[in-house]
A = this chain, B = another copy of it.
Amino acid sequence: MLYFETSFPVRYYETDQMAVVHHSNYVRYFETARSMMMESWGMPMHKFEKDYSVLIPILEVYCRYRHPARMGDVLTVSCAIEKVPMARLRIDQKVVNQDGELCAEGYVTLGFIDKDSFHPVRCPEALLNIIEKHINDR
């Protein structure tokens, strides 16, 4: 399994009037962790488009809320990939607070489309190789 995690504090504007992190922000935390993961591979999302002429749209997102994150929390957000992608890439994600409490878990499914034709394509070789390498490393 490929595993990556990154940590950052809750930001004040992410809270809502229930004094917890608004549920929509976990979807943004998921994305932030994915961006940092691709960055750590030397393949940041924003360069991916240019270098491979492939866009990586979100096809679906699921999130199960377990425990509210609050201002003052430092969250660790993780990405896990179990299967080498073909047409789609599923990433399992978790948000855990500084006390080890699971705040939320879910997954996103990403697709690959040609930048010009907007037709679905296979996962580019370069990305495939990185994921394959990391899955086997663990």
Contact = CB atoms under 8 A, between A and B. Distances in A.
For chain A, the bracket of interface size reads 35 or more
A16 B27 contact: no
A2 interface: no
Interface in A21-77: 22-25, 27-28, 31-32, 35-36, 39, 44-47, 55, 57-65, 68, 70-72
A72 B60 contact: no
Given A8-B8, A17-B46, A46-B71, A23 B27 contact: yes
20 contacts: A9-B35, A9-B36, A9-B39, A11-B28, A11-B31, A12-B17, A12-B32, A12-B46, A13-B16, A13-B31, A16-B17, A17-B17, A17-B46, A24-B28, A46-B71, A46-B72, A59-B64, A60-B62, A61-B62, A62-B62
